[in-house]
A = this chain, B = another copy of it.
């Protein structure tokens, strides 16, 4: 029995017309699979409207009640969509998390899936051809509703595919797949036929928001092949899967960028133990996410600490720095919002030296000054002036030959 898991996001089920298109997709798919699990998000806007209600009702709404509230968004989607399927004579039913059940821990608002009753799912298939499952939601052992956090429907889909084993998981979205970089700023950007989990993780965290990062981690852990494809065409999309040899032939798989960066520098900080903790501890306590961090080698026992944060967090960050700069003895605090970061990602660079050097040389040659650098095993990230972003993306895309397909 061939089972397929297909997930459709909020814009794909936004209204009747959209849902009718999804019905066509699912009906067609019954020609290539025996049974289908359809995972749906809430209709576009519904989740935000429900969260706005909660915030109107309380400054600090109870997390468990909030989950019971927002989970109604997916409940509406699955019941409406199943109605459409049944109208066309398809044997279908909706399933809420507790009806399967999809058991999670009790971290309301950001619950983690613990188990899915795959026997129950298979039993439902004796009676139905399509199971329409509410994404984003789970339930605790004692039957309370939980939600998996933003983008959780992707995770629901991958987890269901994992539970059903050797099943392909299709994530339908409004783009054709994963691109080597943003086609809007680089005309030679190319859709990738496949990409490794690890590369996808680095891309996703950079803002190439095709797949939610937790779903990719889940897919990697349970070896679920995930295909990202479009609701609006028949392109096979991009397969997110394990690394293989052909992938390693490619040094760099994709170029990502992120404009939402603000740089903060603490000048001439005495280089004593505990300084980093004194700087980043208070930021972490206030939920400010620090992205890149660079600390220069100490000179005369004084050091510069530079880091980047999201622009919306800058004001808050500077307030915190103003409070602590005196106590840690920093000479001054400066900041710059006209910065952006560009990354080159690829599992291939793991086995090859010189990738970073090639990237730096290419940018420098075009007169782009590099403000900060950070590297990981499969990623090089470079902070530059924001005005150079498009140029830098095109240079790197070209430098690593991403405009020609070697698959």
Contacts and interface: CB of A to CB of B under 8 A. Distances in A.
Contact of A143 (B59, B78, B99): B99
Contacts of A68: 75, 78-79, 94, 96
A66 B53 contact: no
Contact of A56 (B16, B62, B69): B16
A139 to B, nearest CB: 9
Contacts of A78: 68
A26 to B, nearest CB: 15
A316 B15 CA distance: 34
Interface string A93-104: 110101100000
A80 B94 contact: no
Given A72-B75, A75-B69, A76-B72, A83 B62 contact: yes
A83 B54 contact: yes
A69 B62 contact: no
A80 B98 contact: no
Interface residues of A, number: 37
Given A68-B79, A79-B66, A84 B98 contact: no
A86 B60 CA distance: 10
A385 interface: no
A119 B98 CA distance: 21
A61 interface: yes
Contacts of A69: 75-76, 79-80, 83
A53 B65 contact: no
Contact of A72 (B64, B65, B72, B143): B72
The listed residue with most B CB atoms (<10 A of its CB), out of A75, A82, A83, A143, is A83
Nearest to A143: B99
A404 interface: no
A357 B79 CA distance: 56
Contact of A57 (B71, B80, B94): B80
Given A16-B57, A84-B57, A144-B99, A93 B64 contact: yes
A64 to B, nearest CB: 7
A41 to B, nearest CB: 15
A62 B94 CA distance: 11
A58 interface: yes
A39 B15 CA distance: 32
A62 B75 CA distance: 15
A98 B57 contact: no
A319 interface: no
A287 interface: no
A331 to B, nearest CB: 46
A285 interface: no
A82 B61 CA distance: 9
Given A58-B87, A96-B68, A53 B80 contact: yes
A87 B61 CA distance: 8
A93 B140 CA distance: 15
Contacts of A66: 79, 83
B62 A82 contact: yes
Contacts of A61: 83
9 contacts: A53-B76, A65-B82, A65-B83, A65-B94, A68-B75, A68-B78, A69-B83, A98-B143, A99-B144
Given A58-B83, A66-B79, A72-B75, 19 more contacts: A50-B76, A53-B76, A54-B80, A54-B83, A58-B84, A58-B86, A58-B87, A60-B87, A62-B86, A64-B93, A65-B94, A68-B75, A69-B76, A69-B80, A69-B83, A96-B145, A98-B98, A98-B143, A99-B144
Please give me the 6 A-B residue pairs with the lowest Cβ-Cβ distance, nearest first: A72-B72, A69-B79, A68-B79, A65-B79, A62-B86, A65-B82
Interface of A: 16, 19, 50, 53-54, 56-62, 64-66, 68-69, 71-72, 75-76, 78-80, 82-84, 86-87, 93-94, 96, 98-99, 143-145
